[in-house]
Chains A and B, each alone.
Chain A
Amino acid sequence: MRQPTPEASRSVGHLPEGDASRRNVAQRQQRGWWYERMLLATTSFAIVILLVLLYNIVNDAFGGIAEQTAIDPVELTGGRAITELTDAELVTLLEDNLRSRVRRNLEREQPLSERTRDDLLAIIDRELIKREVVGVYTLTSYMFDRDRIAADLAENFPRATLSFKSWISPAFLSTPMSSEPSNAGIRTALLGSLWVLLLTVVIAFPLGIGAAIFLEEYERDLPFDERSSLGRALNRIYNRVNALIALNIYNLAGVPSIIYGILGLAVFVRAFEPFTSGAAFSGGDGTANGRTIISAAATMALLVLPVIIISSQEAIRAVPNSLRQASYGLGATKWQTIWRIVLPNALPGILTGTILAVSRAIGETAPLIVVGASTFIVSDPSGPFSKFTVLPIQIYNWTSRPQEEFRAIAAAAIIVLLVMLLSINAVAIIVRNYLRQRRVG
Chain B
Amino acid sequence: MAASEPGMTGGSRAALDLRRKPRIGESIIQLLLFLSGFISIFTTLGIVWVLGQESLKFFADPKVNIGEFLTTTVWQPQIDAFGILPLINATLMVSIIAMLVAIPLGLGAAIYLSEYAAPRIRNTLKPIVELLAGVPTVVYGYFALTFVTPLLRSIFGSDTVSIYNDLAAGLVVGVLITPLIATLSEDALSAVPSGLRQASFGLGATRWETAVQVVLPAALSGVIAAFIVGMSRAVGETMIVALAAGASPNFTFNPFEPAETMTGHIARISGGDLSYNSIDYTSIFAIGLVLFMITLVLNYVSRLVVKRFREVYE
Contact = CB atoms under 8 A, between A and B. Distances in A.
A binds B: yes
Interface of A: 1-2, 4-5, 25, 28-29, 31-32, 35-36, 38-47, 49-50, 52-53, 56-57, 60, 206-208, 210-211, 213-215, 218, 221-227, 241-242, 244-245, 248-252, 254-263, 265-267, 270, 302, 305-306, 309, 333-335, 359-360, 362-366, 369-370, 372, 375, 392, 395-396, 399-400, 407, 410-411, 414, 417-418, 421, 425
B50 to A, nearest CB: 4
Given A241-B41, A370-B266, 19 more contacts: A25-B204, A32-B206, A39-B109, A42-B112, A45-B109, A50-B128, A211-B33, A211-B37, A211-B39, A221-B30, A251-B299, A258-B263, A259-B236, A262-B47, A263-B50, A362-B136, A366-B242, A400-B243, A411-B146
14 contacts: A28-B206, A46-B179, A210-B36, A223-B30, A225-B2, A262-B51, A266-B285, A309-B40, A334-B26, A365-B138, A366-B263, A370-B267, A392-B138, A400-B242
Interface of B: 1-6, 23, 25-27, 29-30, 32-41, 43-44, 46-47, 50-51, 54, 104-105, 108-109, 111-113, 116-117, 125, 128-129, 131-132, 134-139, 141-143, 145-147, 175, 178-179, 203-209, 213, 229, 232-233, 235-239, 242-243, 263, 266-267, 270-271, 274, 276, 284-285, 288, 291-292, 295-296, 298-299, 303
Contacts of A259: 47, 51, 236, 288, 291-292, 295
A42 B105 contact: yes
A363 B206 CA distance: 43
A249 B146 contact: no
Contacts of A214: 30, 33-34, 36-37
Q: Secondary structure at chain B's binding surface: helix, strand, loop or mixed? A: helix
B142 A2 contact: no
Contact of A35 (B5, B35, B208): B208
Contact of B147 (A36, A52, A218, A248): A52
Contact of A258 (B32, B132, B233, B288): B288
B257 to A, nearest CB: 19
Given A39-B108, A396-B242, A263 B43 contact: yes
A386 B296 CA distance: 35
Q: Secondary structure at chain A's binding surface: helix, strand, loop or mixed? A: helix
Nearest to A392: B138
Contact of B238 (A43, A270, A365): A365
Contact of B266 (A36, A258, A306, A417): A258
Nearest to B51: A262
Given A210-B32, A256-B238, A43 B267 contact: no
A365 B270 contact: no
Contacts of A248: 40-41, 44
Nearest to B48: A263
B5 A222 contact: yes
B193 to A, nearest CB: 16
B134 to A, nearest CB: 7
Contacts of A366: 137, 238-239, 242, 263, 267
Contacts of A207: 36, 39
A250 B203 CA distance: 41
A249 B116 CA distance: 34
A256 to B, nearest CB: 2
A256 B290 CA distance: 12
A249 B40 contact: yes
B141 A396 contact: yes
B23 A47 contact: no
B141 A399 contact: yes
Contacts of B44: 248, 251-252
A189 B261 CA distance: 27
A425 B32 CA distance: 31
Contact of B41 (A36, A47, A52, A245): A245
Nearest to A303: B43
B213 A359 contact: no
Contacts of B54: 266
Most B CB atoms within 10 A — which of A25, A39, A306? A39
A206 B113 CA distance: 36
A363 B139 contact: yes
Nearest to A222: B5
Given A2-B213, A40-B112, A305 B39 contact: yes
Nearest to B115: A39
Contacts of B25: 335
Given A4-B209, A50-B128, A56 B266 contact: no
A45 B105 contact: yes
Contacts of B27: 223
Contacts of B138: 363, 365, 392, 395-396, 399
B296 A251 contact: yes
A239 B199 CA distance: 43
